[in-house]
Amino acid sequence: MGKTVLEDGWLAARSTDVKLTGNQLTTTNPPSSDYPPWMPAVIPGTVLATLVKNNLIPDPFYGLNNEAVMDIGDSGREYYTFWFFTTFDCKLSSNQYVDLNFRGINYSAEVYLNGHETVLPKGMFRRHSIDVTDFLDPDGHNLLAVLVHPPDHPGTIPPQGGQGGDHEIGKDVATQYVQGWDWMAPIRDRNTGIWDEVSITVAGPVKIVDPHLVSSFFDDYKRVYLHSTVDLVNRSGKAANCSLSIQVSTELEGNTILVENLQTKQLSVPANSHAQYTFPELFFYKPNLWWPNGMGKQSLYNVEITVNVDGYGESDAWGHHFGFRKIESEIDSATGGRLFKVNGEPIFIRGGNWILSDGLLRLSKKRYKTDIKFHADMNFNMIRCWAGGISERPDFYHYCDIYGLLVWQEFWITGDVDGRGDPVSNPNGPLDHELFLYCARDTVKLLRNHPSLALWVGGNEQIPPHDINEALTNDLKLHPFFLKVNETVESKEETNLTIMDPSQYLDGTRVYIKGSLWEGFADSNGGWTDGPYEIQKPESFFKDDFYQYGFNPEVGNVGMPVAATIRATMPPEGWEIPLFNKSPSGYVKEVPNPIWVYHKYIPYSKPDLVHDQILLYGKPKDLDDFCLKAQLVNYIQYRALLEGWTSRMWTKYTGVLIWKTQNPWTGLRGQFYDHLHDQTAGFYGCRHAAEPVHIQLNLDTYFVEVVNTTSGALSDVAIEVSVWDLEGACPYYEVTENLSVPSKKTLPMFEMKYPQSENPKPVYFLLLKLYKMSDFHIISRNFYWLHLPDGDYKLLEPYRKKKIPLKMTSDISISGSTYEVRVNVKNISKKPDNNSSLYKNTFIDKYDDSVFDFDFDLTSTGAIKQEVGLLQKFYDRFSRVENDGRVSEVNGTDVGVAFFLNFSVHSTKQDHKKGEDTRILPVHYSDNYFSLVPGEEMDVTISFEVPKGVTPRVSLHGWNFDSAHTVH
């Protein structure tokens, strides 16, 4: 009973290299990986993913390798038409049925099982379920072969490239980015393959199909009702008398399950028929609500539906996590932007645009978990799934549910491929409108039960053709319970009891917007009013005239990764940094090397508008210097972007989505972490700027502002302002006490007096702290490096020679292959005045010591114990142990700010090759790229998984010392 995912043991071969038929492959002549042309396949994945895995083509994400891969526009569709083959064991009992399920195939396929053929219809975004009960082998060993055909209109790539190539791909219901974009090289097979989960499901005579769960709220969210509708299919030749049950439970501590509600109903399903059944609504009093990231907990309930058939027993079961929450949106009268409310609370949207996890669709739960947690770590509360990519998968949504990321999901229409561009594209969308609508409706059924799903949008910078848009508007109309943001129903008895149950709608709970530039987004009328997409002066984000509309769905910027990523993804000729050509006007134009150009590098200058922001720190000497200075700019740019928007929260703006958070390949623009999962400094600029309660400096007015996005007011708080110069002195220090900040408000508190004072320093550091007066606990901390107007940061170059002493104490916890390291870093160059608030308050998080386990022998083999024993000898020689923690010190005699410190984690394998990338990725840091003033200390938590046979090494880098310092 239940589902079995078929993810291992797949083989693949180009169809023109296989001389056997599907019937022969699945009866008398099954293939083997020992005999070409068959090779191990990547499922889920694409043809290119399989070819890369088998080293038959060079990695298209490395250097210029993509140019050496045959494009389908040149080769023809047959070149990327592939067979995929696997086996599975399944032997049925009496009165059991089995379905073979494909959650995503691009673009069409013929399926052969034990010699029986099924032709699958076209469409990348539709599920396929085949009843194969009569095709199974009596002995239980089954042979499965799938012939997958590419999209019908793969198109060609014009020499000038552009958005969506020649736009032919827009004639199909498929991903549109695959013909290339200004941030992406073309995908040569156009994502041909079995790109999502394949499974078999075994059930009894009656199976459950696509249940729909909806919650409705009354009495200020005290009374909640769960509405549930389920489709039942009876595949037997006689009527089935059924017992249909729904159970709602929560998981308590200690693996205890608490059943919150249970209901069972009796019904009969006629023979060989399909029936829809709606449960009587389930009542809950004051349930735990699901909240977006930064607003509360992401409470989830387990909903299980089972059907028992008389004379058979349990026939089928279905389960899903469900969150009680209500998402509403309307156009805000004050700003003209779309205003979102969750459980009645306004939420200021700060998030990012998402393409997809990997350009070759090598999708996995592990990668999705890292991707979504990264977004939550940046304090984002929304992800927009851009229309040129995919409708995201249930695993993506599962982690958005877990981490509290609202999702804006678009359908597959983009302006560049559906109505504009060069050449001008077809405005009428795909050729087959009914196919588009079928895929859209099927996608809604696949995703609608996820609490993170916030809204549906017809397309990117374009709306669907009239008939498609009209159908989607009708299909996704709201149930009366969800029509108005401000509508409150005092009593359930006052509602019209004849209204159809909301779970009988296709969705009914989320608004549908026809396009990303309409109805409260950008200018609301479809004008091309998103952007800009390049470097800005940091103070520009705060100015009145920067962006005039209430909600910007796309504003972009730079995204250079660290030098180690460049070396790992490009040959040495790609390590050359740009030339800096100065124009007569005084502005500099960056001229990058051809490999950077191919990887869509976006410069750090905007001639005649923005001076080169890297050159503000002095001309970079080499790749390491360039990338380090780029991280300084990344941090400033993205922090200023979000702080500028948040400065006008509710008065001018209702939200902003950054273009974009990541790259599905090794691109060099618009990202907070690279394709290898290493974060840029912009990640941490965003993390600080988007915290729920935040202190910031308005770079235009020089007022210190406090942002409170929470539903609770702040009272009895204080602000500490300290300025530090490059000599380690504190020329300006001020504390303002007894402050209050209302909820959901950005409040200017006072104007910064420095640098208007006498003899200001040309370059200085500013530290802002917002803390509780009762216990000096820091609520928000924000560190800036600043220069005088019309100045630069070149004095920071000699500051690199400063030797600032640091003391680090580390604790280690190991669970299986997962490490958690907590490092306390302290700048011991000088003790602050004991009477100052600076000395009293602390940014150190409070930890329960019991969570740290210092017993390294956590494996049966003892391998880790031996490795850690060697590591301990290192520490015995160079470190001392205090309070169950390892203490390490960076020596130095200078007094000053320990500037731009960042951790990294590396492997210490003995067989490393010269130049090999030793980083262990991904790593989650509670903070990184941080700075500490004299006497200040901070705890940083570092968590990561270690590959088998590898010993990790945690290193600290900093602006103030040249080489990495080993912490652990």
Structure tokens at 207: 């199976």
- Assign residue 393 a region: left if phi > 0, alpha if psi is -120 to 50, beta otherwise? beta
Place of tokens 């930064």: 294
- Among this protein's residues, is 554 annotated catalytic? yes
Instruction: Name the 3-class secondary structure at 706.
Output: strand
Residues 6+ positions from 880 with CB-CB distance below 8 Å: 887
Cα–Cα distance, 645 to 548 (Å, whole number): 11
**Terminal alpha carbon distance of the chain:** 48
Structure tokens at 458: 């017809």
Let me know how long the chain is: 968
Pairing of strands 453-457, 512-513: parallel
Cα–Cα distance, 85 to 134 (Å, whole number): 20
Q: How many CA atoms lie within 13 A of 633 on its CB side?
A: 31
Cα–Cα distance, 613 to 590 (Å, whole number): 11
What strand order describes the sheet that includes 714-724? 732-741, 714-724, 763-772, 778-787
HEC sequence for 480-506 = HHHCCCCCCCCCHHHCCCCCCCHHHCC
Structure tokens at 214: 């909806």
Whether 302 and 250 have beta carbons less than 8 Å apart is answered as: yes
Angle between helices 681-689 and 623-647 in degrees, nearest 10 = 20
- Among this protein's residues, is 110 annotated catalytic? no
Cα–Cα distance, 716 to 736 (Å, whole number): 11
Instruction: Name the 3-class secondary structure at 687.
Output: helix
What does each C-alpha distance from 306 to 215, 229, 264, 274, 871 come to in angstroms?
20, 13, 9, 17, 53
Residues 6+ positions from 336 with CB-CB distance below 8 Å: 520, 524, 549, 550
Cα–Cα distance, 84 to 147 (Å, whole number): 6
Compute the CA torsion angle 132, 133, 138, 139 (nearest 10 deg).
Answer: 70
Instruction: List the catalytic residue out of 281, 392, 461, 691.
Output: 461
Cis peptide before 40 (omega within 30 of 0): no
Cα–Cα distance, 649 to 655 (Å, whole number): 8
Helices and strands, number each (H, E), in the chain: 14, 49
Instruction: List the catalytic residue out of 392, 410, 519, 554.
Output: 554
Residues 6+ positions from 88 with CB-CB distance below 8 Å: 4, 6, 142, 144, 200
- What are the catalytic residues? 461, 554
